[in-house]
Amino acid sequence: MTTANVQGPTGVVFPEIRGARSTSALGRSVVADALRAVDPVGARAAEHETDWRHGYLGHFRRLVEAGLLSREAALTVARDGLAALHARMRYRPDGDAEVPLDQACDLPDGEPLETATVTGGGDVEREFSLPYRGQRLRGDDLRRRLDAWVEAGVVEPTCAEAVRAVLANPDWLDLRDQRIVVLGAGAEMGPLPSVLRWGGDVVAVDLPRPEIWRRVLRTARRHGGRLHLPVRPGTSGDDAALAQGAGADLLHRLPQATGWLRGVDGRLVLGNYVYADGATNVRVATAVDALTVALTRERPDVALAFLATPTDVYAVPGEAVAHAERGYAARGLARRSLRVLSGGRLLHRNYPPGADPGVNDSLVPQQGPNYALAKRLQRWRAAVARDGGATVSFSVAPPTRTRSVLRNRALAAAYAGAHRFGVEVFEPATSNTLMAALLVHDLRTGGGPTQPHPWQDEAYAAAHGGLWRIPYAPRSALGLAVLLGLGGARA
């Protein structure tokens, strides 16, 4: 996809090449540079891909496969991919010439933002509970649900272990010693409601859109924590006035947002929960990465938090491969026949027998290469930061019925039919609470156990919804899931 160079693009922008800002050219170049040192053949293939919009899938898989050669190979891919992105992306202030991305956070940007603090009036909870299908699971009920998810292959066993550790240490939920920065405060998958429920401090960043801040402020008032929000100078009054004056625009006013966060006291946990549609997703994800580099350079104690999408390519443990193989061996006659009748296009096995690690390819073509690049750069940053000694919380989140998913008719239908293939799709409240528990676990354990390879860091405590352990390669079942989901909706 190519975005025309319209008059006046500002903020974090794609590089201009021959009068146009091409997202496909950027994607090809970044992936090629990430592969070049480890897989030069793969780099050349990415550079010469003529249909990036549809052909990107194999190249993003190759990024993972190339990194499996060694720990250093994986880190080289991550470092070189990040360097390629930062070298190409630009920042353009209003009415001024573009500058390299890495200079953006230090530019002057008008009046500095002020801070408003809201203290909620609700009770503080000190017991972890999980909303699930109309109930609030606690104690043994929650432990039984974790066991059921593990048995069904919905989450990795290490995910259940991490949540059980939070259950066993309720004092971990007291996060007043941290400042949880939620970039994308209005996001459905973010930890903001849970941290406020547990009485913690949330530093909220989102666009200056009153409808977002009205919702965030209502959440803050219901719970017992404190909400710190950026506001225009002179903003005060009730929640209606705060909502009108709140917000920081990471994409278009990156220096202003960076300056505000630099002034926040305490140990920061920089949580990345931003999302935008299409090419804007790459721009805002890049803005967050530039912010991350600036803050961690000045404050080495900053911890990082990421939510990874389950619809990506991951290396997975041999135990997950064996689980999938057992399901493939037990498949019924109807599914065997369907595979034969389709000429092998449908329902082929998820992994080669005995693979350890296996490579799970759950990329969804409908989400596109911009979404894949935005999520991949977060994985790269997590790996590089962890290798540099930072505390990093990285969690693979389950498929979830968020607003952005349900807007895509094909994805919504696939999610509606996914249960036929052993995939559980979560409601947002269940997902964001479960992910908040994993964040707590990581913050209280220094980022979780030390792993020998970055793929094992990514696989630890993954809540993939079943995509890693189903018998079939996810894309080979996607079309059937869509048809079944559409049929269920009509029924």
Model confidence pLDDT, tens digit, residues 175-205? 999 999 999 999 999 999 999 999 999 999 9
Helix (H) / strand (E) element for 401: namely none
Domain boundaries, the chain: 11-106, 114-489
**Residues 364/368/371/373 CA torsion (nearest 10 deg):** 100
Give the separation between CA 420 and CA 427, rounded to whole angstroms: 17
Q: In whole angstroms, what is the distance from residue 268 CA to residue 86 CA?
A: 23
Annotate 218-286 with three-state secondary structure: HHHHHCCCEEEEEECCCCCCCHHHHHHHECCCCCCCHHHHHHHHHCCCCCEEEEECCCCCCHHHHHHHH
Query: How many separate helices (H) and strands (E) can be counted in the chain?
Result: 19, 16
The tokens for 108 are 């002057």
Residues of the chain short of pLDDT 70, as ranges, are 1-8, 333-344, 487-491
pLDDT of residue 488: 53
pLDDT, one tens digit per residue, over 29-84 is 999 999 999 999 999 999 999 999 999 999 999 999 999 999 999 999 999 999 99
Name the residue among 421, 381, 291, 244 with its Cα closest to residue 11.
291
Q: How much is the pLDDT for 339? A: 60
Q: What is the pLDDT of residue 484?
A: 85
List C-alpha distances in Å: 249 to 117, 179, 201, 240, 335: 19, 20, 21, 20, 50
Q: What is the pLDDT of residue 404?
A: 87
Run of H or E including 306: strand 303-308
Whether 76 and 277 have beta carbons less than 8 Å apart is answered as no
pTM of this structure: 0.94
Report how far residue 52's alpha carbon sits from residue 224's, in angstroms, rounded to the nearest whole number.
Answer: 48
pLDDT for position 3: 42
Q: What is the DSSP string of 33-74?
A: HHHHTT-HHHHHHHHT-S-HHHHHHHHHHHHHHHHTT-HHHH
What is the assigned CATH class of domain 114-489? alpha beta
Cross-strand bridge partners of residue 315: 359
pLDDT tens track for 118-140: 999 999 999 999 999 999 999 99
